[in-house]
Structure 1
């Protein structure tokens, strides 16, 4: 149930470019979310990419820790806060979640903020 498969990861360059050029975005500190509805019939309602600024976090170890925490918080909460809502509305989106915080956050804070972000995203997509 709480899985994060390859098909859920956003890897397509064209989709990523379109997401950043034509997508909607909002801030939910320490995250910035960009999303865009898509028409293609993908297996999962959301394809997501996680990013952390190389400018702010020079060491790859730090970036990887942050991304790992983000992915885990997303993986555990996506079904209840996002997939169920999108499934009812029969919508598909591509999503980018970037970490814009100035200092490393612990997992508890990240999970709390991820819940807020997913709830906010669900509300925006349904509109």
Structure 2
């Protein structure tokens, strides 16, 4: 239930390009979410990629810390807030979450904002 497997990660370059060219996006500070409905060929309801701008965080350790916190907040809350809603509607998504914040916040801030983002995404995706 609280896993984050390889199959849930978005690695396909064509899908990522399509996501940024044809997908929808919204801001939920400090995150920017880009999403697109996907074909039903994927195993999980959501395939996701996390990104942190190299321009804003020069040091790799900082970028990795932010990505770790984002992944953990997503992993713990995806089932209740996103997967259950999407499975009920029979939809599958391709998703990108980018960190656009200016400072590295503590984990509880990341989790609070991730809850808000996942709730908003679930609402937009089933429209």
Map of 1:122 onto structure 2 = 122
2:21 aligned with 1:21: yes
Unaligned runs of 5+ in 1: none
Alignment of 1:22-101 (within 5 A): 22-101=22-101
Instruction: Report the RMSD for the aligned CA atoms in angstroms.
Output: 0.5
Cα drift, residue 53 of structure 1: 0.3
- Report how many residues are paired: 127
Secondary structure at 2:69 match in 1: helix
Map of 2:106 onto structure 1 = 106
**TM-score calculated relative to the size of structure 1:** 0.99
Cα drift, residue 124 of structure 1: 0.1
Secondary structure at 2:3 match in 1: coil
Cα drift, residue 88 of structure 1: 0.2
Cα drift, residue 105 of structure 1: 1.1
Unaligned runs of 5+ in 2: none
Cα drift, residue 40 of structure 1: 3.5
Secondary structure at 2:32 match in 1: strand
Cα drift, residue 41 of structure 1: 1.8
**TM-score calculated relative to the size of structure 2:** 0.99
Secondary structure at 2:21 match in 1: helix
Alignment partners' CA distance in 2, 1:125 and 1:40? 15
